[in-house]
Every structure is written in C-alpha cells, then in structure tokens.
Amino acid sequence: MKFEVFTDQFEEFIGVNFWTMIFAWINLLILYLLLKKILFKPIKNMIDTRQKEVDDMYAEAEKSQTDAEALKREYEVKLDQANEESEQILRRAVRQAQLKEEEILRAADEAARRTQERAEEQIELEKKQAINAIKDEVSEMAIGIAAAVIERDVDEKEHEAMIDDFIRNMGDGK
C-alpha cells in the first residue's frame, strides 16, 4: 500500500496532464511577450544604437583616412613643386653668376686694354720728349761747335780735339 500511494503521487508528479501543459505553454507565451516588450526591445534598441555608433566611427575613420591620403598627395605635389622651383632658382642663380663673371672679365679686359693704351701713349710721349731733348742738346752742341770753329780757324786735328773737348764738357756740365 505504501508503494501504491507513492507511485500515484509519482505518476501525478511525472505524468503529462493536458491542461497543465496548455497552461505552461500559455505562461511561456505570456512570459515571452512580456520579456519581448520589457526586455528585448530596449536591448535591441541599445544594440542598434551601439551598432550605429560603431558604423559611424568606421565611416568617420574611413573619411579621415581618405582625407589624410588626399592631404598626403597634395603635400607630395607641393613638395615636388617646391623642389622644381628650388632647382629653377638655383639654375637662374648659376646663370646670373656666369653672366656676372663674364661681365667682370670683359670689364677687366677693357681696363687692362685701356691701361696698356695709356702706357703706350705715355711711352710714346716720353720718347718724343727724349727725342726733342736730344735734338735740343745736339742743336746746342752744333751751335757750340760752330761758335768755337768761327772764333778761330782751325785745322782738322784741332777741330776733332775741340769736338771731343766739347763733348767731354757737355757730359760734365749736365
């Protein structure tokens, strides 16, 4: 008997009752709907918001990367332009230095030519002055010789002696 009571209770506890099963399913449905309304929707909204934030961050990061690449390309173009411009400036400076060098050399050549011409003119002038001085001395000598010859009548030996004497006196006197 004791065993029968126990099996009845066990059977009741373990057995499948149709109405209990229906109530369990209805309770489960109500619990699901209630959880869906109270818990699932806010969690889904929170997850959607988080997903949107993550998507926005990815889009912003991608935009920043695109902007950075564009800035990098622009920087490289400007750097190339600056390098080209510096090379042009350097070429112009070298060319100007070459032109200045040529101008200085021409000016130096011209100055040297003018100095040489002045020196040649000075030499020519001094040469003329020396010739004139020699002419004057020769004239004085000729006048002195003629005066000495006129003062007395001399023969050829005396004449040569007088010329020699005169030349000696001229060398001593001047």
DSSP secondary structure string for all residues of 71-112: HHHHHHHHHHHHHHHHHHHHHHHHHHHHHHHHHHHHHHHHHH
- Rounded to whole angstroms, the Cα distance separating 100 from 103 reads 5
- Rounded to whole angstroms, the Cα distance separating 80 from 116 reads 53
Cβ-based neighbour number of residue 29 at 10 Å: 10
The residue extents of the domains of the chain are 19-173
Question: Which residue type is seen at 103?
Answer: E
pLDDT score for 148: 64
- Rounded to whole angstroms, the Cα distance separating 144 from 159 reads 12
Residue 109: which pLDDT band, with cuts at 50, 70 and 90?
very high
Which residue from 166, 172, 174 is spatially nearest to 149, judged by alpha carbons?
166
Q: What's the rounded mean pLDDT across residues 1-8? A: 60
Q: What's the rounded mean pLDDT across residues 34-55? A: 90
pLDDT of residue 83 exceeding 80: yes
Inter-CA distances, 45 with 55, 121, 133, 146, Å: 15, 111, 128, 147
Render pLDDT for 45-77 as a digit per residue (tens, 0 to 9): 999 999 999 999 999 999 999 999 999 999 999
pTM of the model: 0.39
Render pLDDT for 116-173 as a digit per residue (tens, 0 to 9): 999 999 999 998 898 888 877 776 776 676 666 666 555 677 767 777 777 777 655 4
Which residue from 77, 96, 73, 74 is spatially nearest to 85, judged by alpha carbons?
77
Question: Which residue type is seen at 130?
Answer: A
Q: Cα-atom radius of gyration of the chain, to the nearest Å? A: 67
pLDDT score for 15: 62
pLDDT of residue 87 exceeding 50: yes
pLDDT score for 174: 47
Residue 80: which pLDDT band, with cuts at 50, 70 and 90?
very high
Q: What's the rounded mean pLDDT across residues 6-13? A: 63
pLDDT of residue 2 exceeding 70: no
Q: What's the rounded mean pLDDT across residues 22-41? A: 90
Beta strands in 14-85 (DSSP E): none
Cβ-based neighbour number of residue 138 at 10 Å: 10
